[in-house]
Amino acid sequence: MKKEYDFKKGKRGAVVPQKRKTRITIFIDNDVLEEFRTRADKAGYGYQTMINEALRHHLAKQKKPVDEAVLRKVIREELQRAAHE
């Protein structure tokens, strides 16, 4: 081991950069965070992974395209509502 090291060309940041992930700072209510930590402990993996999965699940639900089945359901509901007015 050297007595002294030269860090002139050193860079700040993570030693191994993460691919496809970005470090952020976010404020989450304490009770929500504790619930994720508790559930993650029971599931056996990290709470950050669980939060990421929950966000993905929510986004997937929001992006559902309007297909024929959804359109038919909405039309039936609206016709039924109009019939009762």
Q: What HEC string does 16-54 produce? A: CCCCCCCCCCCCCCHHHHHHHHHHHHHHCCCHHHHHHHH
What residue numbers bound the domain in which 46 lies? 30-83
Q: What would the two tokens of residue 16 be?
A: 């191994």
Would you say residue 25 lies in a domain? no
Would you say residue 5 lies in a domain? no
Q: What would the two tokens of residue 28 be?
A: 């989450």
pLDDT number for residue 59: 86
pLDDT tens by residue, 69-84: 888 988 999 998 888 8
Would you say residue 67 lies in a domain? yes
* CA separation for the pair 50, 21 (Å, rounded): 15
When mean pLDDT is compared across 30-34, 49-53, 65-69, 77-81, the lowest value belongs to 65-69
Would you say residue 75 lies in a domain? yes
Average pLDDT over residues 32-49: 94
Would you say residue 74 lies in a domain? yes
Average pLDDT over residues 5-10: 87
